[in-house]
Amino acid sequence: MKILLSALVVIAVVGGAAFWFVCPCATVPGGPLAGEAAPAPVSDWTFVNDVGLCQVEVDRGLPWSINLNCMSSEGALYVSCSQCEGKGWSGAALDNPSGFIRVRETVYPVTLTRLIDSQALDVAWAARVAKLGLEPDTPRPGHWWSFQLTSRT
């Protein structure tokens, strides 16, 4: 019985470690983002409109990565979430704005800044609506948050 229990513990630890380093996967968060380090800071993020989801890594005491919608307008980069209040990643971004974003296989160091200004939120919302192909007059929900990400060295 001890051998079976030991084997199950080893499988659980190895499986958990595999997810930690391979994910984020769908709704399962991951650990540090793997990929090629960005060769230089980015000033024009319009290329993110050609990808589905991006992966964002924040620091929650340990590296924590998740899949998020990423979009660009006039070269600026945004990520967003609905009902963001109280989510682990958004709280971590508020506490420590230094993070990373992976686009395809490249990992970029970024600073995450929550948008509060209504006009700035409208720009980010319009970028999201355009990228996702929603109706242009789709109203921005009050519980929707957006962060602008800027390159850091």
Strand-strand pairing, 106-114 and 36-37: parallel
Average pLDDT over residues 23-51: 89
Distance (Å, whole) CA 42 – CA 136: 28
Q: Report pLDDT for 34.
A: 95
Q: Report pLDDT for 74.
A: 96
Average pLDDT over residues 14-41: 72
Average pLDDT, the chain: 87
Give percent of the chain above pLDDT 90.
73
Q: Which domain holds residue 48?
A: 2-151
User: 13-22, pLDDT tens digit by residue?
Assistant: 444 444 444 5
Q: Report pLDDT for 63.
A: 94
Q: What share of the chain is helix, strand, coil (3-state, %, to 5)?
A: 30, 35, 35
Task: Tell me which amino acid residue 106 is.
Answer: T
The number of CA neighbours under 13 Å toward the Cβ of 145 is 16
The number of CA neighbours under 13 Å toward the Cβ of 18 is 6
Number of H helices, E strands in the chain: 3, 7
Counting the structural domains of the chain, the total is 1
What's the CATH code of the domain at 43? 2.30.110.10
- CA-nearest of 83, 85, 84, 110 to 96 is 110
User: 66-75, pLDDT tens digit by residue?
Assistant: 999 999 999 9
